[in-house]
Structure 1
Amino acid sequence: MKYICLMKFRKKPTREMISQNLEWIEKDKKMGVKIDAIYWTLGRYDAVVIFDAPDEKTAMRMGLERAENLSAETMVAIPAEEARRLVE
């Protein structure tokens, strides 16, 4: 299942935070998560992560692990072609 996560830093990012995040990404891989892209952004959110996870609980666990450093809003992403079929 594909997800999009919009993130805001709770505090100024540090090298330690970035290093910790890289460790979490490796842990996520072991839980079956595949990160497609990570973007740091300007505007309302500081980062956007696009990823696949086996289920909603795994996606939620990712956000909870990072809650000290980030606030996150995670959405299920449905491919446009699948959504169009629902309308037909």
Structure 2
Amino acid sequence: MPTYVALLNWTDQGVQNYKDTPKRAEAFGAALQKLGAQLLNIYWTVGPYDLVVVVEAPDEETATATLLQLGAVGNVRSTTLRAFGPEEMGRIIAKAAG
């Protein structure tokens, strides 16, 4: 399943409700499962991003839907990256090499 890395920043609302962040993470994981995706990891970070989440989703549409749902709650804004594992990168390199 494709992997996505989302870099999240808290909104003003998210910071004001920081005590609820573990519960929000659990709710996000449950919402992902309902759409056929999976939360692999979540990290609370120090630096330019407040959280980093690693998600597996069957396709880009599902990944986008889950992050739209997350953003609609109003606690975070996201920047999402498609990530490639070693096997996927090997196939990409093979295609590029011809």
Range class of TM-score, shorter chain:
0.7 to 0.9
2:65 aligns with: 61
Displacement of 1:20 after TM fit?
4.1
- Structure 1 unpaired stretches of 5+: none
TM-score when normalising by structure 2: 0.75
- Aligned with residue 51 of structure 1, among 50, 55, 68: 55
CA distance in 2, matches of 1:79, 1:29: 21
Asked if the contact 1:17/1:69 (under 8 Å) is kept, the reply is: no
Q: 2:86 aligns with which of 72, 80, 83?
A: 80
Percent same amino acid at aligned positions?
30
Select the residue among 34, 40, 48 that pairs with 1:36. Answer: 40
Q: How many matched pairs?
A: 88
Cα deviation, residue 21, structure 1? 4.2
Listed as ranges, the gaps of 5+ residues in structure 2 are none
Q: Which amino acid is 2:88 matched to?
A: E
Farther-moved stretch of structure 1 (47-56 vs 22-31): 22-31
Match of 1:2 in 2: 3
Kindly report the root-mean-square deviation, in angstroms, between the aligned alpha carbons of the 2 structures: 1.9
CA distance in structure 1 between the partners assigned to 2:21 and 2:91 by the alignment:
42
Q: Compare CA radii of gyration and give the structure with the larger one.
A: 2
Q: Hey, which of these two has a bigger chunk of helix by percent?
A: 2
Cα shift at 1:28: 1.4
Q: Which moved more, 1:18-27 or 1:69-78?
A: 18-27
Query: Aligned in 2, Cα 1:82/1:8: closer, same or farther, shift over 3 Å?
Result: same
1:72 Cα deviation from its structure 2 partner: 0.3
